[in-house]
Amino acid sequence: MANDVLVDIEDLHFAYDGRPVLQGINMKIPRGKVVAIMGGSGCGKTTLLRCIGGQLRPSGGSVRLAKHQVSTMSHTELYSLRRKMGMLFQFGALFTDMSVFDNVAFPLREHTDLPETMIRDLVLLKLEAVGLRGARQLMPAELSGGMARRVALARAVALDPMLMMYDEPFTGLDPIALSVIGQLIRRLNDALGSTSIMVTHDIQESLLIVDYIYFMNGGKVVAEGTPDEIRASRDPFVHQFVYAEATGPVGFDYPAPSLAQSFLDEAAHA
C-alpha cells in the first residue's frame, strides 16, 4: 500500500562535477521500520542520505517523503519539513560550547515556542530515555564517545521526528557502547512510532536490529532483503561483505597494469 511507504525513492541520479555517484536508485522505506543502507566506502550511501534530507538536489529522479516531493522543495519548505526529521551525525557532532542539557534543548528552542519549563521537562525525558539524565550539566569534552553518541541521539529525537536518519552511528564505539546504541535505535524507533534509515558498515549489529537492508555498490542497489535473507544470500558481493572475506568481487587493490609490465615500461622509457 502506498500509504505504508514513508520514503519513496525513484530512479535517483546524482553526480559531483559530472562524476556519477548515484545511478538509478530505487528504494521504498515503510513506515515504522528500521532500514539499513550498506555498502563499501564511496558507494554513495551518505550522498543518498543527503538527498533524502534535501541537502543535495538530485540530477534526476525523485525523493518523496510522505506527501512531500523533497527534491523540488524551496529552502523555506525544507526548513519546515526538517522539523519532522532527526539526524544522528557520525561522531555525534555536538555543540562543544553547550552543555548536554542545552544540546538536547537546542532543536526545541529553535523550532518551537514552548515555555522553558516545558522544554526542561522534555529534555529530561529524552535524556532519561538514553540513560544520561544525570549527565545533563556536563560539557561534551567530559563525555566518552558512547555517551556523546547517546546525547546526540537524545537531541535527534527531541522533536519526536517521523523520520530518523543515522550516518554511521556505530563508528568508533567499543563493543558495549555499540550494542547500547543499537538497542536504543531500535527501542526509540518503536516507542516513537517513527521510521529509521541507517547508513552503516557494521553488519553484525545491524542484522540484529533492522527490518530490511539495501546493499549499494557503484552508486546502484545491487541486493536487498530481510536480515535472514541477507545472511543466506548467495550473491558474491553480499556474501563477501556480510562475512568480511578478503577475496571476492570487491577488490582491495586499485586497478593497475601488472608489476612486471610496469617495470618493463619504465625500462623502455629510461
pLDDT digits (tens, 9 = 90+) for 173-206: 788 888 888 888 898 899 888 899 999 888 888 8
pLDDT at residue 3 in the model = 65
78-82, 96-100, 236-240: least confident range: 236-240
Angle between helices 145-156 and 175-192 (to 10 degrees): 10
pLDDT of 29 > 90? The answer is yes
Amino acid at residue number 151:
V
Higher pLDDT, 157 or 174: 157
pLDDT at residue 270 in the model = 62
- Nearest Cα neighbor of 9 from 75, 54, 74, 76 is 54
Q: How many CB atoms lie within 10 A of CB 187?
A: 13
pLDDT of 249 > 70? The answer is no
59-68, 165-174, 180-189, 250-259: least confident range: 250-259
pLDDT at residue 146 in the model = 83
Higher pLDDT, 172 or 27: 27
Domains and CATH numbers, the chain: 2-97+166-233 (3.40.50.300)
Across residues 57-73, what is the average pLDDT? 87
Q: How many CB atoms lie within 10 A of CB 31?
A: 15
63-77, 86-100, 218-232, 248-262: least confident range: 248-262
**Kind and range of the H or E run holding 178:** helix 175-192
CA distances from 100 to 154, 187, 208 (A): 10, 21, 29
pLDDT at residue 72 in the model = 85
Q: Rounded to an integer, what distance in angstroms lies between the CA atom of residue 239 and that of residue 91?
A: 28
36-40, 63-67, 99-103, 201-205: least confident range: 201-205
Angle between helices 116-129 and 175-192 (to 10 degrees): 130
CA count, 13 A, side-chain hemisphere, 202? 20
pLDDT of 1 > 50? The answer is no
